[in-house]
Amino acid sequence: MAIKTTSFASGGDGGRAVAGEKKGFRLNAFTGLIAGGLGYLFGHWMGNAIAGGYQQVIGSGQNDIAILLGFIFGTIGWFLGLGILNYPLKKMAGIEPPLEGYEFEPGVMKYFRFTLDNKVVGIQYLFGMLFYFFTAGLLALGIRTELLSPTNHIWGPATYLEIVGEHGTMMMMMMTSVVMGPFGNYLVPLMIGSKRVAFPRLEAAAFWFTPAAYIILLSALWQGGFQSGWTGYAPLSIQQGVGQDAYLFSFALLGFSMITSSINMTATIINYRAPGMRWSRLPMIAWGMITVAFTMLLSVPILIDGLYVMGLDRSVQTAMLYAGHGGSSFLWENLFWFFGHPEVYLLALPGFGLTMEILPVFARKPLFGYRTAVTGMVGVAVLSFFVWQHHLFQSGMNPDMRPLFMLTTELISIPTGFIYLVGLGTLWRARMRFDVPMLFMLAVFFNFLFGGITGVYVSDVPVNVTVHGSYFVMAHFHYTIMGQLIFAVMGAIYYYAPLYFGVKLNEKWGKIHFWTMFIAFNSTFLPLFALGLLGMPRRVFEYAARLQHLNQWVTVSSYVLGLSLAFFVVTFVWQLAVTRPKSPLNPWQSRGLEWQVGYPIPPGNFDKIPVILSGPYEYGDPNALPVADLTPAEPSAVGVSSGGEI
């Protein structure tokens, strides 16, 4: 049978696309589950064999060494069952493995396999992250159902705290890749004119960390859960049962996923830009990705170090976090929040990148203040490392440190304001088209205004001491993250569906989804500011009777919000699987390079390395050059970019 090959860019794995070759049985997610389960049983058996009678710090009688070894070997089995380790193991054994993973493969099974096509990986991330998000959303509805009444309980205190911890951990843990995964992996190589990412195997492996982390984290629900919440504060995290092991190991897996994604994204943007793709022409999504990647590379290893310390305390009684045995719980708080507050911007910056990418398309004018927007993103990323101790204002920290962290927290509003003003400037005197993606981007600015203003108040020590641990802080956080990030992601899904799937999602259904979600979101979280100021603390299932009516309003609104998201899922799947309304090649008339390739995009993205001629936001300029020259490049130009080797 004939085999058609197409050369990829040089470097890395040096892949090639193969079409028409018949494949036999291939490893996939289902074989990975079987191998992962066997690996867990083996690791658990080994742990019991070597430390069966070991006395634990916690009094549950459970062998933590067996649990952690089970998770370790289960993850190794998961990777072996997927085939991720085939290539390096054969290389180490001196066997030249066949080149696989770049070939075009029809059908849906490719999304359940280890593949090196950045577009397939992006779609794997898209559906994976949506699945994780909706799981966490169902847990949130469980929380709100319990809060319908201060006296009539559904779950009880222990189960309620388990649900709260699972919801918060899954949202904060899994959503860190909600933009870099689906949009960074798919779009950035197209936007910068590259045939692929720098390290395709790292990119693909980074995704397959996330299902393992999801399964392990969810397993905590039937292992007693964890009462420490998503922050994992000691000493609770040392004294908890085996559910806490699921927390720390799943968080560590996500940490490794974030690190590998960040290395890959940074190397791709720096070294794989096409000729003419100067830094001043880099799309805003790419700026969002590289600032987030650097932030991850500096902060996530600190989190993994803290989780390692927690694991040692729980399994071999090192007592570094346990004050009762000479340790310090402040160590965990500092390690965690040195990651935890930059993480807020790991979520916000890509959302701003998406927003500023899409706004000019529907405003039909250039992005206002491109350099100002880039300065704002870099400024936010840098300052995010100087604010972490504002989470410790009530911890007994040195009072002399409070003014410093209050100042840095307020200063970070300045570069954030730059980004906000760039968006408003782009909308000023624009000829806007109010398509569904634009509606979601406008909602980003509306929602983030509430989150930003309340964030200034929360950064001040007197206000922070008053509202710390209350629903006021929770409302601020949800406006800052969900009101910004999730609305940006939803708008991006409507915007990029023609590029990903060749389908233009129905405008009428999209507007029903938008208005229902927008109104329900604000109806859910705006009253929480009032609840917080009235004294309702977080993570409690009983509250003052005078707050019942407000809580009932919030709960009903949260159900409507959940229904709006369910409506999106049903209509989205229906249009992709059943009706498939065909889309024009570039329905939004975007200048972005990613839209110039056509659909379906070939495995190698481009037949030839493009030459970039102008920036992507020069709308309304009749003399603007095309964004790129897609005609065959000179042989000397292929393989060399403004950013390094292609």
Q: Which of 291-300, 400-409, 438-447, 485-494 has the lowest mean pLDDT?
A: 400-409
**Does the residue 185 lie in any domain?**
yes
What is the pairing mode between strands 644-645 and 640-641? antiparallel
Contact assessment for residue 109 and residue 64, using Cβ atoms and an 8 Å cutoff: no
**Does the residue 92 lie in any domain?**
no
Measured CA to CA, the distance from residue 363 to residue 374 in angstroms comes to 20
Confidence of residue 60 (pLDDT cuts 50, 70, 90): low
| Phi, then psi, of 253 in degrees rounded to 5 | -60, -45
Q: Is the pLDDT of residue 102 over 60?
A: no
Measured CA to CA, the distance from residue 411 to residue 402 in angstroms comes to 14
Measured CA to CA, the distance from residue 423 to residue 418 in angstroms comes to 9
Contact assessment for residue 68 and residue 242, using Cβ atoms and an 8 Å cutoff: no
List Cα–Cα distances, 606 to 496, 581, 616, in angstroms: 18, 26, 18
- Closest listed residue to residue 644, CA positions, set 378, 277, 291: 277
Render pLDDT for 310-339 as a digit per residue (tens, 0 to 9).
999 888 888 898 887 788 888 999 999 999
Q: What CATH number does the domain containing 316 carry? A: 1.20.210.10
**Does the residue 105 lie in any domain?**
yes
Alpha helices in 272-328 (DSSP H): 284-316
Contact assessment for residue 232 and residue 192, using Cβ atoms and an 8 Å cutoff: no
**Does the residue 529 lie in any domain?**
yes
Contact assessment for residue 193 and residue 614, using Cβ atoms and an 8 Å cutoff: no
- State residue 127's pLDDT score: 94
Alpha helices in 175-283 (DSSP H): 185-191, 200-219, 236-239, 243-271
Task: Using DSSP, state whether 612 is helix, strand or coil.
Answer: strand
Same domain, 456 and 519: yes
**Does the residue 380 lie in any domain?**
yes
Same domain, 244 and 323: yes
List Cα–Cα distances, 392 to 127, 388, 524, 561, in angstroms: 36, 8, 28, 33
Joined tokens for residue 158 = 């222990």
Measured at the alpha carbon of residue 244, what is the angle toward residues 243 and 247, in degrees to the nearest 5? 95
Same domain, 350 and 397: yes
Same domain, 105 and 159: no
Same domain, 6 and 140: no
Render pLDDT for 253-286 as a digit per residue (tens, 0 to 9).
999 999 999 999 999 999 999 999 999 999 999 9
Contact assessment for residue 189 and residue 196, using Cβ atoms and an 8 Å cutoff: yes
Measured CA to CA, the distance from residue 35 to residue 22 in angstroms comes to 25
- State residue 23's pLDDT score: 55
**Does the residue 298 lie in any domain?**
yes
Same domain, 102 and 75: no
**Does the residue 437 lie in any domain?**
yes
Amino acid at the residue 471: Y
Joined tokens for residue 89 = 């193991």
Render pLDDT for 120-159 as a digit per residue (tens, 0 to 9).
999 999 999 999 999 999 999 999 999 999 988 898 888 9
- Across-strand partners of 6? 17
Q: Is the pLDDT of residue 215 over 90?
A: yes
Last residue of a domain, one of 551, 579, 607: 579
Same domain, 229 and 170: yes
Render pLDDT for 607-617 as a digit per residue (tens, 0 to 9).
888 999 998 99
Last residue of a domain, one of 553, 579, 605: 579
Contact assessment for residue 208 and residue 79, using Cβ atoms and an 8 Å cutoff: yes
- Closest listed residue to residue 106, CA positions, set 196, 194, 26, 19: 19
Render pLDDT for 519-552 as a digit per residue (tens, 0 to 9).
999 999 999 999 999 999 998 889 999 999 999 9
Q: Residues 375-389: what's their mean pLDDT?
A: 92
- Closest listed residue to residue 214, CA positions, set 457, 388, 36, 425: 36
Average pLDDT score over the chain: 87
Measured CA to CA, the distance from residue 453 to residue 420 in angstroms comes to 12
Confidence of residue 496 (pLDDT cuts 50, 70, 90): very high
| Phi, then psi, of 173 in degrees rounded to 5 | -80, -50
Could you list the residue range(s) of the whole structural domain that residue 111 is in?
Answer: 1-27+97-116
Residue 623: count other Cβ atoms within 10 Å of its Cβ: 5
Measured CA to CA, the distance from residue 323 to residue 110 in angstroms comes to 50
How large a percentage of the chain has pLDDT more than 70? Answer: 91
- State residue 642's pLDDT score: 37
Q: Which of 2-16, 148-162, 166-180 has the lowest mean pLDDT?
A: 2-16
Q: What is the DSSP string of 470-498?
A: BHHHHHHHHHHTIIIIIHHHHHHHHHHHH
- State residue 172's pLDDT score: 87
Same domain, 154 and 66: no
Cβ burial of 48 (10 Å; 0-12, 13-18, 19+) is: middle
Same domain, 6 and 63: no
**Does the residue 221 lie in any domain?**
yes
Number of domains in the chain: 3
Contact assessment for residue 178 and residue 489, using Cβ atoms and an 8 Å cutoff: yes
